[in-house]
Structure 1
Amino acid sequence: MAIHASPRVTEILAQKYVEPLRESGEFAHEIVESLRAYVDNQMNIPAAARSIPVHVNTLRYRLRRFEELTGCYLEDTSTVIEVSWVLEVFGRDL
């Protein structure tokens, strides 16, 4: 409900997390897939890697690339909450 009631928050989060990914072209889709798996699997990297399926090192690389592009850290609870918000709004269309 908050997502639909707060379009300004969505806009801010899109600038923070979506725009930097767009620089990566097609690789952005792989980063998004990895983020979704990471969040959906309670930040458990081996489980997330199995769910997509990719090697754990591939998943780690993609997540690290996300952090580099956005300047955010996935160990930060606030980042995970905000990324979850963005994934909910944009789905697979980042």
Structure 2
Amino acid sequence: MMSDWRDRLKLAEGDTLKLLHSKSTGFMQETDVETYEIRASNGSVSGTVIFTDHTAVKGFKRTLCVVQRSTAGEILIDEAWTA
């Protein structure tokens, strides 16, 4: 069974994800992009996550990508894989 993309994140105990916005892009809306804030248990923002799910128009192959950044902009996770 495939693991959830959230399992790839580096989160501290008590951190939660808050969806800020989502959109579909591409000429056939083949790419879904979701932007999240990482909230610490005290409510402060400790980083951001951008999750991308692209379905190729030819062949219908899915490519998933997750990028996690600290509040300073440092990239903590940058992974892509096929589903």
Q: Which TM bucket (shorter chain)? A: under 0.3
Tell me which structure has the larger Cα radius of gyration.
2
Q: TM-score, normalised by structure 2?
A: 0.27
Looking at secondary structure, tell me which structure has more strand per residue: 2
Which is bigger in relative contact order (C-alpha 8 A, separation at least 6)?
Answer: 1
Looking at secondary structure, tell me which structure has more helix per residue: 1
